[in-house]
């Protein structure tokens, strides 16, 4: 009998920063961490690049357009989630985008706001807080949730 191969999930997150604030969205009706703030994000579904995922998710979630040349990977994280799954997360920074961010998926998000970088909401997901901190400390890779 062959061993079952370990599979790792991968997710992509968008850091939009302007005037010392970062855009956060509050999860709603998703079945995972609802009521918590996160970055615009999505899973890699296969046959698309990290940047393609982020472009797709940004349009779907907050109605903005991004160009691949304006997206830069600023942090990667290997983490164990609270449901004991392992992820590789890619955090991308965009300094330019088209459109004003708004809730484009009201069935999955019930609040969107620019928060001061030094005063994130208490109910921000821990790995998001850690990634933002790591970005500002110029830490390119981190691990979270392992014993």
| Domains of the chain with CATH codes | 9-144 (3.90.79.10)
The two three-digit tokens of residue 13, written as one number? 């997150």
- Number of alpha carbons in the 13 Å side-chain half-sphere of residue 35: 2
Q: Is the model's pLDDT at 41 over the cut of 80?
A: yes
Q: What is the mean pLDDT of residues 110-119?
A: 95
Q: Is pLDDT above 60 for 145?
A: yes
pLDDT, the chain, mean: 93
* Whether pLDDT at 1 is above 60: no
CB proximity list for 82: less than 8 A, separation 6 or greater = 33, 145
Between 2 and 86, name the one with better pLDDT.
86
The model's pTM: 0.93
Q: How far apart are CA 136 and CA 118, in angstroms?
A: 11
Task: Identify the band that residue 81 occupies on the pLDDT scale cut at 50, 70 and 90.
Answer: confident
Q: What angle do CA 109, 101, 117 make, to 5 degrees?
A: 85
CA distances to 38, 101, 118 from 121, in Å: 10, 19, 10
Upper half-sphere CA count for residue 30 (Cβ side, 13 Å): 19
For residue 2, what pLDDT band results from cuts at 50, 70 and 90?
A: low
pLDDT for 35 equals: 83
Residue 19: predicted pLDDT: 94
Q: H or E stretch including 71? A: strand 71-80
């Amino acid at each position: 009998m062959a061993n079952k191969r370990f599979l790792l999930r991968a997710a992509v997150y968008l850091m939009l920063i302007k005037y010392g604030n970062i855009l956060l969205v509050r999860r709603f009706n998703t079945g995972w961490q609802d009521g918590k703030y996160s970055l615009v994000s999505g899973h890699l579904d296969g046959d698309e690049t990290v940047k393609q995922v982020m472009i797709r998710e940004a349009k779907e979630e907050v109605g903005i357009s991004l160009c691949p040349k304006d997206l830069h990977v600023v942090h990667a994280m290997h983490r164990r989630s609270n449901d004991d799954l392992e992820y590789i997360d890619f955090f991308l920074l965009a300094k330019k985008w088209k459109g004003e961010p708004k809730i484009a998926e009201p069935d999955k998000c019930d609040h969107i706001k620019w928060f001061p970088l030094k005063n994130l909401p208490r109910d921000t997901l821990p790995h998001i807080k850690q990634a933002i901190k790591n970005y500002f400390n110029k830490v390119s890779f981190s691990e979270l949730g392992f014993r």
